[in-house]
Amino acid sequence: MAGGRRMANRWALTVAILTLASGHASGRSESDDERRPAAMTPAQFQARTTLHDDDLDTIATITTADGFAKRKPLLGIASDDVFLRAFIDKRSGRTAYQVYATVRYRDYGWADWQAVNYATPTGPRSIATQRIARVRASCARGFACPRSETVGFPIDAALLKINSTLYVSDQSTAWRFKLMAQTGAERSLLLTTAEISGLLMAVDAYRTDRHLPKS
């Protein structure tokens, strides 16, 4: 009897670990990660932006990379990551924007996320992405390895401003886009309108503090 109980306990523990790894323990892991960024306000995202600005730099960079960080899973591959960067000319105030996306997956080769489709008021637009980084974890020969690819693509300030106006308190609103790989794989991602608004607020605050024109 004691041996049977120990076996049952070990089985229950194994099931619990596998459930946590798949992100369904008590229905919390994925649902919490979806709810927490939706509950954040533009002001909260603005407060979490990071400024890179040296006296010898001609361009100041503001990023939302630390705006929201998903919890890492106990086992398996971490979630994808998406954030924005703004590049501000310190003389003219002109600002360029770029979306950065890190896609994590497990495979035998690189997916090569080479294009993106994103939503605009006049319909979807498709452009090429820029490869930024590739990372492959070590794994046994003959097995699919954990991999991550980071790509970026430019986004118009006008489109960001349109999406920032869609922010509604206590509602989940987002701008969506889809990465497409050379292998034929697709990955749908999003940026909340609160994060977009927070970045634009940070850019405006930087230009105001330094008496730069707003463009």
Q: Give the separation between CA 32 and CA 38, rounded to whole angstroms.
A: 10
Element (H, E) at 153: strand 145-155
Provide the 3-class DSSP secondary structure of residue 112: coil
Q: Give the separation between CA 131 and CA 108, rounded to whole angstroms.
A: 19
- What is the residue-wise DSSP string for 26-55? GG-HHHHHHHHHHH--HHHHHHT-EEE--T
Do you know the residue count of the chain?
A: 215
Strands 113-118 and 125-128, bridge-based pairing: antiparallel
Dump pLDDT digits (tens) for 6-21: 433 433 333 332 333 3
Dump pLDDT digits (tens) for 172-205: 899 999 999 999 999 999 999 999 999 999 999 9
Average pLDDT value for residue range 45-61 = 96
Entry pTM = 0.78
Element (H, E) at 154: strand 145-155
